[in-house]
Chains A and B, each alone.
Chain A
Amino acid sequence: MRSFGEWESPVFGQLLISGLATGSLYALTAVAVVVVFRNTRTINLAQGDFSMIGAFVALVLIKSFAFNYYFALAGSVVFCIGLGILAERVVMRQIADSDWLTLFTATLGMYYILHGVAGHFWGRDTKAFPLTFDPTPINVFGGIISQGHVVNMAWAAAIGLVLFIFFKYTKQGIAMRAVTDDPETAALMGIPVRFIVLLTWGMAGFLAAFAGVLIAPIIYVSPEMMDEVLIKGYVAAVFGGLYSIPGAIIGALLIGICENLAGGYLGSHFKTVTAFAMIVLLLAFRPHGLFGIQKRREV
């Protein structure tokens, strides 16, 4: 992982803040996972690869077509939304009524396909993503943090706000919440469930693009780049019981912070396992996640 500056010894505040920054990027994936799951009962394993493709598209737009960063980001967003919709139309729609294991495995199939496609078109090696922001660290609340981190957090917060407004105030957002809570009743009330599902996958693509492009400068671009992020995104989503968006966001931030602290104080090879230690512990005590909905016992 390329750092935006060199620190001699881990300082709590710095670890905390950069953890928050990466955590906010994990949150983008986590939220997408939650939204897709609660609307379609699908555990989308391809979410990470949507981001990966998004990162590659942006890279190509910048490198080969001399787009500037923001246009490349926009292009990537459009592409990924299309990708999400394509995934829904071509694959998920065919098995819409299946059990969740089938849905899950189908997304695994998409994962493999996207992996192969990326490798075929752009090669397996890792590529650097051009830095858009001055790598000079700046001082924030006594901690040193790079501008890139700040920008990432800003983007994540902005998207969070957009989502909040969407779900609370727009017609489509409210309709989507209805579908989440009770798809049958929603359908009976005239809500176009199919369209909502399409919207859901489009949203997954939208979030994926940001997740991929924003994290690309930090972790290099390659077909495997999002594998770890995907898993962390999932762990974060499980924090929210696979149901609660705020829960997933909190989970993602927690993971970002904890893994940074573990990496800083225990050693870098403890970073990855932190997320998993957290989740195994959590699930052992709270089988439905921290904010999950406990289904009432109905006999």
Chain B
Amino acid sequence: MADINAAFKAKMVQRKWAAMGVLFLAAVIFPMAPGVESWMASEATLIIMYIMAAQGVSILTGYTGLVTVGHGGFLAVGAYASALSTKYLGTDLITGMFVGAAMSAFVGWALGLVFLRLSGAFMAIGTLGFAFFVGTVVNNVPIFEGREGISLPKNHVIGFEIGDIGFYYTALAALGVTTLFVSLLVRSGVGRAFMALRDSEKAAEASGVNRVFYRTLAFSLSAAVTGVAGVLFAHYVNYVSSEVFADIWYSVDFLVATVVGGSAVLLGPFVGGLFVAFLPTFIELFVDQPGDLAFIIKGGALIFVLIVAPAGVVVGLVQLFRWLRGKLGGDTQ
């Protein structure tokens, strides 16, 4: 029984890496493929940013078990950190990403400390409060220019100006880095510590896991990844304003992406990010004025996934695949 499991699992792991490899290859070729217009590359960039943000959420929610409805706050921190750095220090996009990540990591660490004793529903409300708090700061503290916002110069990477396509590739590269980071993290001892805290705090502590250290670390890393996504959001439109970044719906969207895709699965954020980012555009392909219909479909799809595949689409598909295999009477190789 275990042997079959192990072999099957190994194969699934291989398949997973193969799938990701193919995905990345496709993503690289994408803008250059025939028939692909520039708006499609823009759309793809948006999807990439959502995927990254969802990856951040998955570190905290999926692997450490702390539900966050406030990651929009870290998106904002990253965005504004990079915006200010770009405007006042003339840094380029790559530096901006490091600045955004560092700032978010710090804020995440601090928040983890403040919310040390929270869990479950209280953590969710607390993080929502955090998102609102960031929104208020951004709206009222002068340097952030509130609703007026900050306009950013055209994006440049190490001296070279990059257009939309260049931005797409930069975002893709960043996604590659974050994906690598998350995959390493998840299989490491630190990842095990996170999951131990998620599954049983008592047993984790009995095994030597320092709750304070690992909780704040989880917050920190989770915030950093979403912070980088925030940097991308800012430079995507070369503009930051509280109108956009004080909007708490990002937080909700990122959580939805994580839950729909699968919160503790590497491919989860990809599926979830695609769902959340692409749905409005997708509906627009069929209906002229989506508006309300988009809401209804989003809600319906969400509920449908939760009923049919509560552990997320990716896990649901894997189970479906296994079931089909069994039905078709294939060999258990």
Contact = CB atoms under 8 A, between A and B. Distances in A.
Interface of A: 37, 43, 91, 94-95, 98, 100-102, 104-106, 108-120, 124, 231, 234-235, 238, 242, 269-270, 272-273, 276-277, 279-280, 283-284, 287-289, 299
Contacts of A37: 121
Interface residues of B, number: 43
Contact of A119 (B121, B252, B263, B295): B295
Contacts of A94: 307
Contacts of B307: 94-95, 106
A43 B255 CA distance: 15
B117 interface: yes
Contact of B296 (A106, A113, A277, A289): A113
Interface string B242-271: 000000000010011001000100000000
A271 to B, nearest CB: 10
A131 B204 CA distance: 59
Given A102-B306, A105-B255, A110-B299, 6 more contacts: A102-B259, A106-B303, A116-B297, A269-B139, A287-B118, A289-B122
Q: Identify whether the interface residues of B are mostly helix, strand, loop, or mixed.
A: helix
Given A102-B306, A112-B296, A272 B256 contact: no
A14 B255 CA distance: 41
Interface of B: 61, 67, 114-115, 117-122, 124-126, 128-130, 132-133, 136, 139-140, 202, 252, 255-256, 259, 263, 291-303, 306-307, 310
Given A100-B121, A279-B126, A106 B306 contact: yes
Nearest to A273: B136
Contacts of B132: 231, 272-273, 276
Nearest to B249: A227
A183 to B, nearest CB: 17
B299 A111 contact: yes
Given A43-B121, A43-B124, A284-B115, A119 B302 contact: no
B124 A104 contact: yes
B92 to A, nearest CB: 34
Contact of A273 (B117, B133, B256, B296): B133
A275 to B, nearest CB: 8
A242 B126 CA distance: 13
Nearest to A241: B122
A297 B201 CA distance: 12
Contact of B252 (A108, A284, A299): A108
19 contacts: A43-B121, A91-B303, A94-B307, A100-B121, A102-B259, A102-B306, A104-B67, A105-B256, A105-B302, A105-B306, A109-B299, A110-B303, A113-B300, A116-B292, A116-B294, A120-B293, A269-B136, A276-B129, A279-B129
B147 to A, nearest CB: 11
Contacts of A124: 291-292
A112 B299 contact: yes
Contacts of A280: 114, 126, 129-130, 133
Given A95-B310, A280-B130, A119 B303 contact: no
Nearest to A280: B129
A284 B125 CA distance: 12
Contacts of B202: 299
B234 to A, nearest CB: 23
Given A105-B259, A108-B252, A112-B299, A279 B292 contact: no
B141 to A, nearest CB: 12
B65 to A, nearest CB: 9
B124 A112 contact: no
Contact of B302 (A101, A112, A272, A279): A112
A98 B306 contact: yes
Nearest to B118: A287
B133 A120 contact: no
Nearest to A92: B303
A116 B293 contact: yes
Contacts of A106: 302-303, 306-307
Nearest to A114: B299
B310 A98 contact: yes
